Structure 1
Amino acid sequence: MNKITIPPILNIAVEAGQAILEVYHDPAQDFQITAKKDNSPLTAADQRSHDIIMKGLTALHPDIPVLSEEGAEVPYEIRKDWPLYWCVDPLDGTKEFINRNGEFTVNIALMANNEPVMGIIYSPVLNVIYYGSLEEGSFKMIPGASPERIFVSKENSNWTAIGSRSHADPEEEEVLKEFPVKDKISIGSSLKFCIIAEGKAQVYYRKGPTMEWDTAAGQAIAVSAGATMLNASKGKFYYNKPSLLNPGFFCYSG
């Protein structure tokens, strides 16, 4: 197996993000929106990004399978024995993409023994990459520039909670009362994990449904920056489950 290094994966994420922007900025595009089996939206940009990521990852590491939101469904009986695989969301925040608020991302995570050990998140509109690994820590960079090491906040009071722009839940407010939250901000997609990782917010609680590819890259980046990720019952957050639907979760500083 070729040694897995982050820079080539960053290039794939940026290429996929630029393909998304071609659709996003094309005035002739109606985004070709269709509905998936779960009634969530699918656009031409999702598919373009998926194709680029699949081609890039397969060329780099043909022996590592890819679990992608837009890929073919892989039966649990096959994937349960994968020691190493990629978990990919080619366009996280499709609703943000359709609403043209810019808060969407490309998510690529490397999973080892069903744990996110490396994560790359690229925001095409912001043109910023967040990435991290459990071995090397987490970083933020503009493509082509030098990376900046990032860490979670060490604030013990006056926390800022970050939540979803498109999927807010009133019950989340009640749960957040156990933390020293004084302020709240909202943003779309996996950028929430990145805001935790760079110390601009201290807690992200999500009650509503997400999928494993929504959280894997973000968890890798946040945890590599010093965050903790637990399920809503404060237990271990599991991946590669028979159902890829996530339970509720906390991601917080420390």
Structure 2
Amino acid sequence: MSKFVIGDIVDVTLAAGDAAMEIYGRDHEVALKEDASPVTEADLSVDRILVSALGERFPAIPVITEERISTQVAASGDGPFFLVDPIDGTKEFILGTGEFTINIALIENRTPTAGIVYAPAVDRLFVGQIGSGARELSRTGRRRDIRVRQCSGSMTAIASRSHLTPETKAFISANKIEHCVNAGSSLKFCLVAAGEADIYPRLGPTMEWDTAAGHAVLAASGGQVLTCEGAPLSYGKPEFRNPFFIASSLTATYSIPAPGKRA
């Protein structure tokens, strides 16, 4: 475990959120990247703020971000690195739903050991660090410890608002989940971490920067993130692509329908 403390970058994250909200509140440019996914002024502005601040405060730890392809060669072996998604849920940012987040995670030995997820439009900020637990903060001064809830009987699932795949629908049906709510970005991990849902099945493609910070918060709150084969989701993989996974409380029980095509 490094000497890094997740609380040390709350101020940086709040500043990045201010920059995102300034752009969110006005007309802004939207472009398409090579993979046809959207990128906004906010993605690039927040990226600059976080890369600069993390590099200045923690010069020995490489910073890998979604928006900078050149940084993605920095992760090698089991060494520590920051994994940053400047705006997770860019589609939600563009649509104006408020369900976008700023994600920062510390990866050590291919595992997210600390993470911060900030949703500035809805004033929810989640932090978690292995060994120190997880909590929710807000700009208005609210602070509370969070923990996954115990599952008994029917479960509440939370699923992607923009990427609800047939495989995810089959999972929800097969597990007789009574309630299913939709949300954007890595807020889904945090709602499980806060005991507001029991399980988040992601049977669709994601990248590591989409998941690392939320994964860290959930793990710190007593939850888990497993692949469909039951292995812990790891980081620093080739091209930073994730397999399908299930994020949940440790007491959630589920089965996975016969596999279709998996990421």
TM-score norm. by structure 2 comes to: 0.90
Matched, 1:60 2:57: yes
Return the offset for 1:248.
0.6
Residues in 2 aligned to 1:72 and 1:11: alpha-carbon distance in whole angstroms: 26
Give the Cα–Cα distance (whole angstroms) in 2 for the partners of residues 144 and 80 of structure 1.
40
Q: Which position in structure 1 is the counterpart of 2:37? A: 40
Structure 1 alignment gaps of length 5 or more: none
User: Which is worse superposed, 7-16 or 107-116?
Assistant: 7-16
> 2:247 aligns to what?
251
Measure how far apart 1:177 and its partner are.
4.2
Shift of 1:75: 5.6
Q: Shift of the alpha carbon at 1:124?
A: 0.7
Cα RMSD of the aligned pairs, angstroms, is 1.6
Q: Output the CA distance in 1 between the equivalents of 2:22 and 2:108.
A: 33
Q: Which residue of structure 2 lines up, in the alignment, with residue 175 of structure 1?
A: 171
3-state SS, counterpart of residue 64 of structure 1: coil
Deviation of the 1:40 alpha carbon: 0.5
For residues 21-68 of structure 1, give each alpha carbon's deviation from its aligned partner in whole angstroms, at most 9, with x where no partner exists: 000112xx2x21111121100000000000010111111111110010
Correspondence for 1:70:
67
Q: CA deviation at 1:144?
A: 5.9
**Corresponding residue for 1:5?**
5
Structure 1 pair 223–101 and aligned structure 2 pair: CA distance change class (3 A): same
Aligned to 2:19: 19
1:152 alignment partner, one of 115, 126, 148: 148
Deviation at 1:82, TM superposition (A): 5.4
Q: Is the 8 A contact 2:155 2:177 kept in 1?
A: yes
Deviations 1:209-230 (A, max 9, x none): 1100000000000111111110
Hey, what's the Cα distance between the residues in 1 that align with 2:174 and 2:231?
A: 16
Q: What is the rounded CA distance, in whole Å, between the counterparts of 1:10 and 1:72 in structure 2?
A: 25
1:172 deviates by 1.0
Residues 1:105 and 2:87 are matched in the alignment = no
Letter in 1 for 2:153: S
SS class of match (1:79): coil
Report how far residue 112 of structure 1 moved.
0.6
Bigger drift between 135-144 and 121-130 goes to 135-144
1:229 matches 2:225: yes
Q: Is the 8 A contact 1:107 1:120 kept in 2?
A: yes
Aligned to 1:81: 77
Whole-angstrom distance in 1 between the partners of 2:75 and 2:150:
38
Indicate the percent of aligned positions where both proteins have the same amino acid: 37
What's the offset of the Cα at 1:158? 1.7
Q: CA deviation at 1:236?
A: 2.5
Structure 1 SS opposite 2:121: coil
User: Equivalents in 1 of 2:150, 2:78: separation in Å?
Assistant: 36
Q: Whole-Å Cα distance in 2 between the matches of residues 181 and 195 of structure 1?
A: 16
- CA displacement 1:79-129 (0-9 Å, x = unmatched): 223511100000000000000010000000011111100010001101221
AA aligned to 1:228 is Q
Preserved CA contact (<8 Å) 2:192 2:199? yes
CA distance in structure 1 between the aligned counterparts of 2:176 and 2:93, rounded to whole angstroms: 32
Which runs of 5 or more residues in structure 2 are unaligned?
Answer: 251-263
8 Å contact from structure 2 (residues 100, 119) kept in 1: yes
